[in-house]
Structure 1
């Protein structure tokens, strides 16, 4: 049967034509025949990839990457890519299609992928629209010649070295920057933030792009002497009144243009009333020094709006990166975001105490997920002890904790974990730590 006969039979229905049992088989044969008879397309006009500038990773490292891509400890892919980019090496060409497909689905690996894909990766990205995202990721180019991602990376590096010079570079061409780039560039100023940045950020509150205004307001909130912080202090004082161990709350009755300029969003999320939403934002953006010591405040009675005020203090501790408040609010509501205000040592101490006192549930996993990687012995042993305890009562509930322990504990502690207990869950953690130790050694 010809292709036209097959199409006609499929459209009319096999009950009205003969050949019912062989329709699909014949269609498959016809597809292969038609494809086999096609001439190859002309490729003479296709530009070739530029010569590679970076050396490839070693054969051992490439083999391990292939194992990860094949499903062996596949959650280690971001760590492998980060280590490879730090070492200044690129991936072998044969893994590029799989990696580029992964990056299409997982945005978290794209920044490192841009650095390790090499010239061949960018050449492939230019040929396939599904991989075009790679062309927006940093490659190591300079401020003048780089893409948006390259310029963000350059500005970030300069900001860490010379904060003033980075801000002045940004100010010089601010009006010529694209709106999306302006929001990302403002975020870079969080590193090394000081009152020297305040005039520029205050001006950014009038930017046309909402994301730029929001980023600028977030950074100004971290500067208690900024004009925005002082305006918020005035608003917050009108909302909270302190008398004899009680806090009386009067939530804002309106959100005016001046409040919106300072980062207060007028429309609340679903399920939150307008006044509650405005109250939380005003209190969260007011300087925490306005209220005194958090331990005393948490003991005071708040007859109305209690949950809203305390949620605002949690948000304020996160926004303003205040260690004392983060510590106090973590004791009241242990959420992972609060740990970002603390140094790695204190993060791990608080998390270790939480592991010892708390049952294994989603909250414990979220807290551990907020702790910086390379957990040291104190937190590592607390988690290993928890694994042993849960293994005797709820072994089916251990999967995520085992993976998290293996992915976050410092891999140099693999021997400690291996000798900690012979029970299978602990040995699973030790095996993952050994895998990571070998992986990082191959990429060093």
Structure 2
């Protein structure tokens, strides 16, 4: 018996969903479009599903006949080694399974290894096999954190595909200028024409590209149309000046301080305060100095000593105290220089103004103002009348903005100190930002000391700012702390975040050191039931993941 396939309607956005609904309801209750109820309906549904499956996999939605597509652009980068190509296909095919109440099992999470694989492949300059591009774009569509590395690896063919499938349009939005080709930066006529006539995304991309190559040329181009730009556009364009910011940008930024948009003025002030030699920085320093001084008449014992040192003659020696007199008003000059007059809910106006002044003042101001003391001595001075938290928090923000490592060290303090830190490190977030101003080795050493003294309960955010792979001292500190947590008899799920970081960040060469942790330990008397087995399972996953990372690097020729 010969069966004729039922006609299938042209696909729409909801064709697949309609077929799925028909399958769930059954063809007795609902038939595919163009099909009459009866014994042929189930076969017609399968035919329609097969056709729609091919359409969905093709990467191009059917449309009326049009001009033939141009071929995809060439990718001149070298091809992936065969083993690395197979590994990529495996990583893209993996899907995260459902959570089992916090238990992850011993198998590596391949989806978490994909970002690291992409980083190595991009560093080596490889091009992807064409057949994996749809899966790569699908993966990037579902994970915004994956997009920059995935699109860099996918190369020009990703943009070619993205123009054919609306599901992948995010690739065009993420590409400079929405995927449009920028003129050669030496082509002054083409650059000026695109700047005057291009779409907003194209102009942002052009300005960013020019700024990274020739900062002065980008600033001069922006100045040609600055007065006619919309406020929201001026803000975006001004933000591009962060790249290559230098003293030559000061005149332009000073003019932007008079902008009619408050957000533009605030951004200009922030950029100028990052230039310690700018006129704005000097004005803010003068204002801040008027608020902060040494009070020799009201002194206190040196902090942390518990006693006074004797000086000749038997007179007890006391440490000077920092006295603070916050501003009583926010005058027009302060507002012009970026001080926001209205305090947020729950904040006092005077403390709000003080914090902004201190944050914007060059940190070199304080050694001169406070008796020539270095940062660590200044931070150790007591502060009168409860102003310590506000003053030190502002110094933290200034150290981060000005990338001042000496002040960051002083504010961080010794990692083994109670509550882990200097008086300015008011939160883990502040500490993480301060650590970001230090070199990778020093950062890792500080976090290792923190973990050794305080364990892992507060270390997750600090570990996130450390360079990958972790330096050996940091890796050892993390493993030792996990081992201590295991011996305490608790379940490993409380440390799943740190364990996940270790899988991605621990140096693969550490795998051999972990073999001793794979056995199920004897459980202490007060241990949680079965905790030892769960810990052994977690360490097995860690070791397997590290060895898999080592294999991935070798396949990419980066071992």
TM class, shorter-length = 0.7 to 0.9
Does structure 2 conserve the Cα–Cα contact (< 8 Å) formed by 1:156 and 1:188?
Answer: yes
User: In structure 2, what is the equivalent of residue 64 of structure 1?
Assistant: 87
Counterpart CA distance in 2 for 1:379 and 1:390 is 17
User: In structure 1, what is the equivalent of residue 170 of structure 2?
Assistant: 133
- What secondary structure sits across from 2:290 in the alignment? helix
Q: 1:388 to 1:85 in 2, by over 3 A?
A: same
Counterpart among 116, 120, 132 of residue 83 in structure 1:
120
User: In structure 1, what is the equivalent of residue 338 of structure 2?
Assistant: 263
User: In structure 2, what is the equivalent of residue 186 of structure 1?
Assistant: 241
Counterpart among 479, 487, 490 of residue 384 in structure 1:
479
CA deviation after TM superposition for structure 1 residue 184, in Å: 4.3
Counterpart among 28, 31, 35 of residue 29 in structure 1:
31
- What secondary structure sits across from 1:173 in the alignment? helix
User: In structure 2, what is the equivalent of residue 169 of structure 1?
Assistant: 217
Counterpart among 109, 117, 130 of residue 146 in structure 2:
109
User: In structure 2, what is the equivalent of residue 286 of structure 1?
Assistant: 361
Counterpart CA distance in 2 for 1:374 and 1:271 is 42
Does structure 2 conserve the Cα–Cα contact (< 8 Å) formed by 1:249 and 1:302?
Answer: yes
Question: How well do the aligned residues superpose, as a CA RMSD in angstroms?
Answer: 3.4
The answer as to 2:127 corresponding to 1:45 is no
Does structure 2 conserve the Cα–Cα contact (< 8 Å) formed by 1:414 and 1:431?
Answer: no
Counterpart CA distance in 1 for 2:81 and 2:207 is 30
CA deviation after TM superposition for structure 1 residue 43, in Å: 4.1
- What secondary structure sits across from 1:247 in the alignment? strand
Q: 1:168 to 1:156 in 2, by over 3 A?
A: closer
Give the structure-1-normalised TM-score: 0.80
User: In structure 1, what is the equivalent of residue 281 of structure 2?
Assistant: 229
Give the structure-2-normalised TM-score: 0.65
User: In structure 2, what is the equivalent of residue 359 of structure 1?
Assistant: 455
Does structure 2 conserve the Cα–Cα contact (< 8 Å) formed by 1:249 and 1:304?
Answer: no
The answer as to 2:321 corresponding to 1:246 is yes
Q: 1:396 to 1:155 in 2, by over 3 A?
A: same
The answer as to 2:137 corresponding to 1:100 is yes
Counterpart CA distance in 1 for 2:347 and 2:388 is 14
User: What 5-or-longer segments of structure 2 have no aligned partner?
Assistant: 1-23, 36-43, 53-61, 96-108, 186-190, 195-200, 227-232, 297-319, 368-373, 413-420, 520-535
Does structure 2 conserve the Cα–Cα contact (< 8 Å) formed by 1:182 and 1:212?
Answer: no
Q: 1:157 to 1:23 in 2, by over 3 A?
A: closer
Counterpart CA distance in 2 for 1:208 and 1:61 is 55
Q: 1:421 to 1:201 in 2, by over 3 A?
A: farther
Counterpart among 545, 550, 555 of residue 432 in structure 1:
545
Counterpart CA distance in 1 for 2:160 and 2:335 is 45
User: In structure 2, what is the equivalent of residue 296 of structure 1?
Assistant: 377
Does structure 1 conserve the Cα–Cα contact (< 8 Å) formed by 2:75 and 2:157?
Answer: no
Counterpart CA distance in 1 for 2:543 and 2:465 is 22
How many equivalent pairs are there?
411
CA deviation after TM superposition for structure 1 residue 342, in Å: 0.6
User: In structure 2, what is the equivalent of residue 306 of structure 1?
Assistant: 388
Counterpart CA distance in 1 for 2:33 and 2:294 is 80
Does structure 2 conserve the Cα–Cα contact (< 8 Å) formed by 1:54 and 1:118?
Answer: no
User: In structure 2, what is the equivalent of residue 54 of structure 1?
Assistant: 76
User: In structure 2, what is the equivalent of residue 407 of structure 1?
Assistant: 504
User: In structure 2, what is the equivalent of residue 218 of structure 1?
Assistant: 270
Counterpart CA distance in 2 for 1:328 and 1:41 is 65
CA deviation after TM superposition for structure 1 residue 287, in Å: 1.4
Q: 1:210 to 1:407 in 2, by over 3 A?
A: farther
Does structure 2 conserve the Cα–Cα contact (< 8 Å) formed by 1:247 and 1:302?
Answer: yes
Does structure 1 conserve the Cα–Cα contact (< 8 Å) formed by 2:73 and 2:160?
Answer: no
Counterpart CA distance in 2 for 1:429 and 1:269 is 45
CA deviation after TM superposition for structure 1 residue 102, in Å: 4.1
Q: Which has the higher helix share?
A: 1
Which protein shows a greater Rg? 2
Query: Which structure carries more relative contact order (alpha carbon 8 Å, separation 6+)?
Result: 2
CA deviation after TM superposition for structure 1 residue 153, in Å: 6.6
User: In structure 2, what is the equivalent of residue 325 of structure 1?
Assistant: 407
Counterpart CA distance in 2 for 1:207 and 1:98 is 47
CA deviation after TM superposition for structure 1 residue 117, in Å: 2.2
Q: 1:242 to 1:126 in 2, by over 3 A?
A: same
Does structure 1 conserve the Cα–Cα contact (< 8 Å) formed by 2:235 and 2:267?
Answer: no
- What secondary structure sits across from 2:91 in the alignment? helix
CA deviation after TM superposition for structure 1 residue 269, in Å: 4.1
CA deviation after TM superposition for structure 1 residue 319, in Å: 1.0
Counterpart CA distance in 2 for 1:45 and 1:62 is 34
